[in-house]
Structure 1
Amino acid sequence: MLESNPESPQTLAIDIGGSGIKMMVLNLAGEPITERVRVETPQPATPKLVIATLSELAHKQGEFDRVSVGFPGVVVRGVTKTAVNLHPDWEELNFAQTLSQQFGKPVRVANDADIQGLGAISGQGVELVLTLGTGIGTALFLNGQLVPNLEGGHHPFRKGETYEEQLSHATLDKIGSKKWNRRLEKALKTLKRVLNCDRIYLGGGNTKKVKFELPNFIEVVPNITGILGGIRLWEIDL
């Protein structure tokens, strides 16, 4: 069993998605102490079922001192405001407090794309993170400072639909890879023009579906970035 070290806190980093839940323990430098585990998100994805899943997984991870959680929705001071791809019961839940009581550890919760961005960005200029998964997550940074809860996936994109409606995993399955790629390419060009980004980072499971050549200002980041950002979550003001 891992021993807790208050001078070098070990962080249980959790990434909750519409289709999967990932978890691992990291040291203060963001280096993995345990193997990354992934399980399917329970259905229906109610707070009760998700928290029970988190507790079961955490028990197998050994000791940790604090918890970072990436959540697929708007989070304000630990309270989950939206959860489009989970369940309505998440609305207005003080998730940080609930999980802290469950684990007996301090907990910080933030939007999952925001945390992925914390693990990916350089900290220079305007940087956008776009996560391609069950839904579409977005995070925006200016010189390393987070603009929280952008939720750009739910902003209007084209033909009266949002970025998420045009580019979600369900849409990919429905329209096929070729058409989805054309839409994604248009979305990236639009976001570049609207936000004048210096860098765009693509994350999420559907990055493996990208078939067109990306310009040099766009970088694909690995899924583990969404967990590694859990260390930096403790370094910013929420």
Structure 2
Amino acid sequence: MSGKGSGLPFGIDFGGTGIKGAPVDLEKGEFAQDRVRIDTPHPSTPDAVAEVFAELLGKFESSDGPVGVTVPGVVVKGVVHSAANIDKHWIGEDVDQLITAKTGRDVHVVNDADAAGLAEVRYGAAEGHRGLVIVTTLGTGIGSALVYDGVLVPNSELGHLEVDGHDAERRAASSVREREDLSWHDWAKRLTTYYRKLEQLFSPELFVVGGGVSKKADQFLPLIDIETQIVAAKLRNAAGIVGAALYATEARE
């Protein structure tokens, strides 16, 4: 191992199937070394996952840089308040404290969509944009991040807005398109309804669309009929790790 990671912040992206991490160069907004992936343990209790975080950090040279961790849930002052796709034992857990104790590092936890949003605004598709940027991740559900003049407004959870009498993500998530075998055109109609609702409520300067399906943005983004500019995310799989490291650095400062 090289000493390249020393002093650099570290980002960990915690998902339902895998836990990925790497030291991050915040000047460039990219990994300073190749990321490492470890399968998410089952059950994915906080203690079991914290062990994996420690194992992951042990695969890189020790550093005094802060560690950012994404969690697929609402996070307030390091405490997790929801757990849609992870073990329910996370709810009420002070994860900052738990993982700091387990790893001996300065750890800061952030909602996964918020981390991706921060990364896209600082280094990706929304770099240089002022005003309100809304980043949405279309996947199993719909994650969201509100960033105003570069400052994160955390835990927006805009995938749970009611649209046409439904939780928005139950109508318009990427998983719904696959499950219902919707054409790109039919899915784009649902996305149009969703993004018009966001326009009506927030009047953003820009929408950024992330999630795995953003690789196929040319198939559906041009079909979304809204007034606000809407573009595909750029950082894709790197966004969670980069955003988590950025969040932890700014939280420490």
Scaled by the length of structure 1, what TM-score is found? 0.86
* Deviation of the 1:175 alpha carbon: 0.7
Q: Cα deviation per residue 1:112-138 (whole Å; 9 max; x = unaligned)? A: 111111111135111101012232111
Matched, 1:21 2:19: yes
Q: Specify the alignment match of 1:173 in structure 2.
A: 178
Matched, 1:154 2:160: yes
Q: Which runs of 5+ in 2 are unaligned?
A: 122-126
Of Structure 1 and Structure 2, which has the larger fraction of its residues in helix?
2
Secondary structure (helix, strand or coil) at the match of 2:204 reads coil
Residue 139 of structure 2 is aligned with which of 123, 133, 154? 133
Task: Say if 1:39 and 1:176 are closer, same or farther in 2 by CA, change over 3 A.
Answer: farther
Task: Say if 1:184 and 1:64 are closer, same or farther in 2 by CA, change over 3 A.
Answer: farther
Q: Specify the alignment match of 2:44 in structure 1.
A: 45
Find the aligned partners of 1:18 and 1:153 in 2 and give their Cα distance: 18
Find the aligned partners of 2:180 and 2:205 in 1 and give their Cα distance: 31
Tell whether the 8 Å contact from 2:9 to 2:246 is kept in structure 1 after alignment: no
Task: Say if 1:62 and 1:143 are closer, same or farther in 2 by CA, change over 3 A.
Answer: same
Find the aligned partners of 1:137 and 1:46 in 2 and give their Cα distance: 22
* Deviation of the 1:155 alpha carbon: 2.1
Tell whether the 8 Å contact from 1:42 to 1:50 is kept in structure 2 after alignment: yes
Task: Say if 1:72 and 1:192 are closer, same or farther in 2 by CA, change over 3 A.
Answer: same
**Identity across the alignment (%):** 35
* Deviation of the 1:59 alpha carbon: 2.0
* Deviation of the 1:235 alpha carbon: 2.1
Structure of higher RCO (CA pairs closer than 8 Å, 6+ residues apart) = 2
Find the aligned partners of 1:85 and 1:111 in 2 and give their Cα distance: 13
Q: Cα deviation per residue 1:86-125 (whole Å; 9 max; x = unaligned)? A: 1211101011111111110101111111111111113511
Task: Say if 1:67 and 1:19 are closer, same or farther in 2 by CA, change over 3 A.
Answer: same
Scaled by the length of structure 2, what TM-score is found? 0.81
Find the aligned partners of 1:207 and 1:171 in 2 and give their Cα distance: 15
Find the aligned partners of 1:199 and 1:3 in 2 and give their Cα distance: 39
Aligned-CA RMSD value: 2.5
Secondary structure (helix, strand or coil) at the match of 1:219 reads strand
* Deviation of the 1:39 alpha carbon: 4.3
Matched, 1:113 2:128: no
Secondary structure (helix, strand or coil) at the match of 1:45 reads coil
List aligned pairs for 1:70-81, cutoff 5 A. Answer: 70-81=70-81
Find the aligned partners of 2:53 and 2:174 in 1 and give their Cα distance: 24
Q: Specify the alignment match of 1:219 in structure 2.
A: 231
Task: Say if 1:180 and 1:141 are closer, same or farther in 2 by CA, change over 3 A.
Answer: same
Find the aligned partners of 2:60 and 2:182 in 1 and give their Cα distance: 37
Tell whether the 8 Å contact from 1:21 to 1:41 is kept in structure 2 after alignment: yes
* Deviation of the 1:154 alpha carbon: 1.8
Find the aligned partners of 1:170 and 1:31 in 2 and give their Cα distance: 28
Q: Which runs of 5+ in 1 are unaligned?
A: none
* Deviation of the 1:231 alpha carbon: 3.7
Secondary structure (helix, strand or coil) at the match of 1:26 reads strand
Find the aligned partners of 2:246 and 2:23 in 1 and give their Cα distance: 14
Find the aligned partners of 1:36 and 1:195 in 2 and give their Cα distance: 36
Q: Specify the alignment match of 2:35 in structure 1.
A: 36
* Deviation of the 1:10 alpha carbon: 1.0
Task: Say if 1:51 and 1:177 are closer, same or farther in 2 by CA, change over 3 A.
Answer: farther
